A = this chain, B = another copy of it.
Amino acid sequence: MSQSRIDVLTLGNAIVDVLAHTDEAFLARKKVHKGAMQLIDEARAEELFGDMGPATVVSGGSAANTAAGAASLGVKAGFIGKVKNDETGHYFARDLKAAGIHYDVAFAQDGPATARSFILVTPDGERTMNTYLGACQNLTPEDIRAETIQASSYVYLEGYLWDPPAAKEAFRKAVGIAHEAGNRVALTLSDAFCVDRYRDEFLGLMRDGSLDILFANIHELQSLYGTSDPDSALAALRDEKVLGVITRSAEGALVVSRGETRAVPAFPVDKVVDTTGAGDLFAAGFLAGLARDLDLVDCARLGGLAAAEIIGHLGARPQANLLDLARQEGLLQ
């Protein structure tokens, strides 16, 4: 049977989130960099899990969150990422299926456990992520099925995939197949420190034609161009041959296309509970908008709506039906 059509296929680290509310003093004591994603080893994972507060467990992973957001907006979504054949891995895979997301990657039968990210949420709603990559390190080019990529109109990749060494080959394979099939490829820069680790490679991907769309927040974009000035970073982006989608938290988003920049205000949020997944869900809304052939400003509005839902509760997967919310706002029919 041939693969049925997928609107938005995302590739990334398959991670289960363990979230706890905490305070600034705990972050200082544990010497973690607030707001960033740090990679940790198993010993550090055990230590943090032992010391952090009562936790909520929910499936996460940046690109998987984006797939869940797209599915909630009513477009057909798929995900590629690696978990182990353990309790946590089955929980992650079940959540994908429960959200109606296509997922055809085999479970790792040995090696490290399914990845977990210990996420500390401070009273301001900011999240600090400590990620044990585990089984994500076993994602290889063999996990990329050509027919899945060929069937996917938009293939979205997370910059975090540069961390597990074998995954970037899987990433490159997906880009090649997608472009051969005439599909579009997007990258999110993921995290300013991640950009710091792989700046030249990300610039290379953008300039060698691997990417059609770049998602980033303004800090990541500044990190990409090595500048403390947001305006110079935006000016540099205008010279690249990609559609740039830049988020700026409460200041809304900028859509940079063919040398032109359009600003779209943020969607109002009653109370910031937890920003985990805000960027992932913005990308979900934007890509769902593209898949529905909305104009770019409406794509950014849809992204803002999806991000606003996720900020209002703990965890990075939607708890409301985003399609219903989008219809109430007149953004989708």
15 sampled A-B residue pairs with Cβ under 8 A: A20-B98, A21-B320, A49-B94, A50-B94, A52-B98, A54-B98, A54-B99, A54-B317, A55-B98, A56-B57, A56-B58, A57-B57, A57-B91, A87-B87, A313-B314
Does A10 reach chain B (CB closer than 8 Å)? Answer: no
Minimum distance in angstroms from A188 CB to a CB of chain B:
21
The closest CB in chain B to the CB of A58 belongs to: B56
Q: Which 9 A-B pairs have the closest CB atoms?
A: A57-B57, A54-B95, A54-B98, A56-B58, A54-B99, A53-B98, A87-B87, A54-B317, A21-B319
Chain B residue contacts of A320, Cβ below 8 A:
21
Does A315 reach chain B (CB closer than 8 Å)? Answer: yes
The 8 Å CB contact of A55, one of B21, B95, B273, B314, is B95
Does A59 reach chain B (CB closer than 8 Å)? Answer: yes
Chain B residue contacts of A319, Cβ below 8 A:
21, 314
CB–CB B99/A53 < 8 A: yes
Number of interface residues, chain A, beta carbon within 8 A = 27
Within 8 A of B (CB), among A71-102: 87-88, 91, 94-95, 98-99
Complex CA–CA separation, A11 to B91 (angstroms): 29
Within 8 A of B (CB), among A302-316: 313-315
Does A281 reach chain B (CB closer than 8 Å)? Answer: no
Of A49, A54, A273, A317, the most chain B CB neighbours within 10 A belong to A54
CB–CB A314/B317 < 8 A: no
Chain A interfacial positions (CB closer than 8 Å to B)? 20-21, 49-50, 52-59, 68, 87-88, 91, 94-95, 98-99, 273, 313-315, 317, 319-320
Complex CA–CA separation, A215 to B280 (angstroms): 44
Chain B residue contacts of A52, Cβ below 8 A:
98
Chain B residue contacts of A49, Cβ below 8 A:
94
The closest CB in chain B to the CB of A274 belongs to: B319
The closest CB in chain B to the CB of A121 belongs to: B319
Complex CA–CA separation, A59 to B317 (angstroms): 19
Chain B residue contacts of A98, Cβ below 8 A:
20, 52-55
Minimum distance in angstroms from A176 CB to a CB of chain B:
32
Minimum distance in angstroms from A136 CB to a CB of chain B:
19
The closest CB in chain B to the CB of A315 belongs to: B56
The closest CB in chain B to the CB of A68 belongs to: B54
Complex CA–CA separation, A319 to B273 (angstroms): 10
Of A55, A88, A315, the most chain B CB neighbours within 10 A belong to A55
Chain B residue contacts of A57, Cβ below 8 A:
56-58, 91
The closest CB in chain B to the CB of A101 belongs to: B54
Chain B residue contacts of A56, Cβ below 8 A:
56-58, 315
Complex CA–CA separation, A319 to B98 (angstroms): 26
Complex CA–CA separation, A53 to B318 (angstroms): 11
Complex CA–CA separation, A313 to B58 (angstroms): 14
Chain B residue contacts of A50, Cβ below 8 A:
94
Of A49, A57, A91, A320, the most chain B CB neighbours within 10 A belong to A57
Complex CA–CA separation, A243 to B50 (angstroms): 39
Minimum distance in angstroms from A51 CB to a CB of chain B:
8
Chain B residue contacts of A94, Cβ below 8 A:
49-50, 55
Complex CA–CA separation, A50 to B97 (angstroms): 9
